[in-house]
């Protein structure tokens, strides 16, 4: 399932990220990488707010749709 499909309040584990090396590196730098656990604070509509490594971040719908996750 994709991160963009996860409702607010759920924690998920990142399985894979579909995208180029630049996007993967940018996401890894902010704590979003395969194996990491993140929490969805606010689901779409609008930017998605997540909490990764103790920091809240905003992700666009396009980027969130490229992140494969599984519920914990």
Q: Where are the domains of the chain?
A: 3-71
CA distance 51 to 68: 16
Can you list the pairs that 48-56 forms with residues at least 24 positions away whose Cβ atoms lie under 8 Å?
Answer: 48/3, 48/4, 50/3, 55/30, 55/31
CATH number of 3-71: 2.30.30.90
Examine the pLDDT at 24 and tell me if it is beyond 90: yes
Examine the pLDDT at 22 and tell me if it is beyond 90: yes
pLDDT at 64: 94
Q: What are phi and psi of 31, to 5 degrees?
A: 90, 15
| pTM > 0.85 | yes
Residue 58 CA, chain-centre distance (Å), reads 9
Examine the pLDDT at 6 and tell me if it is beyond 90: yes
């Amino acid at each position: 399932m994709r991160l963009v499909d996860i409702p607010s309040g759920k924690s998920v584990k990142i399985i894979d990220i579909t995208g180029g090396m630049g996007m993967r590196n940018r996401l890894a730098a902010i704590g979003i990488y395969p194996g990491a656990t993140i929490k969805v604070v606010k689901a779409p509509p609008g930017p998605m707010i997540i909490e990764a490594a103790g920091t809240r971040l905003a992700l666009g719908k396009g980027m969130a749709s490229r992140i494969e996750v599984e519920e914990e």
